Chain A
Amino acid sequence: MEVLVFLVPLAIMLGAIGLMGFLWSLKNGQYDDLDGAAWRAIADDEPAESSNG
Chain B
Amino acid sequence: MQSTLDFSHYLKNAGPGLLHLELAVEGINCAGCMAKIERNLSKIPDVTSARVNLTDRRLALEWKEGAIDPATFVDRLAELGYKAYPFERADAETKEAERAGALLRRLGVAAFAAMNVMMLSIPVWSGNVSDMLPEQRDFFHWLSALIVLPAAAYSAQPFFSSAFAALRARGVNMDVPISIGIALALGMSLVETASHADHAYFDAAIMLIAFLLAGRYLDQNMRRRTRAFAGNLAALKAETATKFFGDDEVRTVPVAAIRPGDIVLLRPGERSAVDGNVVSGRSEIDQSLITGETKPETAVAGSAVYAGTLVRSGTLRVRVAAAAEETLLAEISRLLENALQSRSHYLRLAERAARLYAPVVHATAFLTMLGWLIAGATIHDSIVTAIAVLIITCPCALGLAIPAVQTVASGALFGSGVLLNSGDAIERLALVDRVIFDKTGTLTLPELDVANAAAIPAAVFALAGRVALSSRHPVAAAVARAAKATSPLEGIEEEPGQGVHGMLDGREIRLGRPVYCGADDEANAILSRDPEASVVAFRHGADCHVFAVRQRLRPDAASVVEKLRQYGIAVEVVSGDREPAVRMAAQSLGIREWRAEVTPVDKIARINELAAQGFKVLMVGDGLNDAPALAAAYASMSPVSATHLSQSVADAVFLGERLAPVGLAIAISRKALLLMRQNLWLAVVYNALAVPIAIAGVVTPLIAAAAMSGSSLLVMLNALRARFHQKETF
Chain A minimum-CB-distance residue to B104: A26
Interface string of A1-28 (1 = CB under 8 A from B): 1001000100110010011001100100
B55 at interface by CB-CB < 8 Å: yes
What total of A-B pairs shows CB separation below 8 Å? 62
Chain B minimum-CB-distance residue to A36: B54
Report B-chain residues with C-beta under 8 Å of the C-beta of A18. Answer: 112
Report A-chain residues with C-beta under 8 Å of the C-beta of B116. Answer: 11-12, 15
The answer to whether A22 and B55 touch (CB under 8 A), given A12-B143, A39-B31, A43-B35, is no
Bound form: Cα–Cα A28–B119 in Å:
29
Cβ B136 vs Cβ A53 within 8 A: no
Cβ A43 vs Cβ B31 within 8 A: yes
Report B-chain residues with C-beta under 8 Å of the C-beta of A42. Answer: 31
Interface size class of B (residues with CB under 8 A): 20 to 34
Report B-chain residues with C-beta under 8 Å of the C-beta of A53. Answer: 32, 36, 80
Report A-chain residues with C-beta under 8 Å of the C-beta of B39. Answer: 47
Report A-chain residues with C-beta under 8 Å of the C-beta of B40. Answer: 52
Within 8 A of A (CB), among B33-89: 34-36, 39-40, 52-56, 80
Contact of A22 among B54, B108, B147 (CB under 8 A): B108
Cβ A33 vs Cβ B119 within 8 A: no
Report B-chain residues with C-beta under 8 Å of the C-beta of A31. Answer: 104
Q: Main SS of chain B's interface residues?
A: helix
Bound form: Cα–Cα A9–B171 in Å:
44
Distance (whole angstroms) from the CB of A47 to the closest CB of chain B? 6
B261 at interface by CB-CB < 8 Å: no
Cβ A36 vs Cβ B115 within 8 A: no
Within 8 A of A (CB), among B100-116: 101, 104-105, 108-109, 112, 115-116
Cβ B55 vs Cβ A19 within 8 A: no
Cβ A33 vs Cβ B54 within 8 A: yes
Bound form: Cα–Cα A8–B117 in Å:
11
Interface string of A35-48 (1 = CB under 8 A from B): 11001101110010
Cβ A15 vs Cβ B53 within 8 A: no
Cβ A36 vs Cβ B80 within 8 A: no
Distance (whole angstroms) from the CB of A25 to the closest CB of chain B? 9
The answer to whether A19 and B56 touch (CB under 8 A), given A11-B119, A12-B147, is no
Chain A minimum-CB-distance residue to B58: A33
The answer to whether A19 and B31 touch (CB under 8 A), given A12-B143, A32-B55, A35-B54, is no
Report A-chain residues with C-beta under 8 Å of the C-beta of B56. Answer: 33
Bound form: Cα–Cα A33–B143 in Å:
37
Chain A minimum-CB-distance residue to B115: A15
Cβ B112 vs Cβ A36 within 8 A: no
Report B-chain residues with C-beta under 8 Å of the C-beta of A19. Answer: 108-109, 112
Report A-chain residues with C-beta under 8 Å of the C-beta of B136. Answer: 1, 4
The answer to whether A33 and B112 touch (CB under 8 A), given A26-B101, A53-B36, A53-B80, is no
Bound form: Cα–Cα A11–B32 in Å:
43
Contact of A36 among B55, B104, B108, B139 (CB under 8 A): B55
Chain A minimum-CB-distance residue to B36: A53
Report B-chain residues with C-beta under 8 Å of the C-beta of A47. Answer: 35, 39
Cβ A36 vs Cβ B35 within 8 A: no
Report B-chain residues with C-beta under 8 Å of the C-beta of A43. Answer: 31, 34-35
Report B-chain residues with C-beta under 8 Å of the C-beta of A33. Answer: 53-56
Interface string of B189-229 (1 = CB under 8 A from A): 00000000000000000000000000000000000000000
Distance (whole angstroms) from the CB of A20 to the closest CB of chain B? 9
The answer to whether A36 and B52 touch (CB under 8 A), given A26-B104, A53-B36, is yes
6 examples of A-B residue contacts, CB within 8 angstroms: A11-B116, A18-B112, A19-B112, A31-B104, A39-B31, A43-B31
Binding site for B on A (CB under 8 A): 1, 4, 8, 11-12, 15, 18-19, 22-23, 26, 31-36, 39-40, 42-44, 47, 52-53
> Which 9 A-B pairs have CB atoms at the shortest separation, nearest pair first?
A39-B31, A36-B54, A15-B116, A19-B112, A33-B53, A35-B54, A35-B55, A22-B108, A33-B55
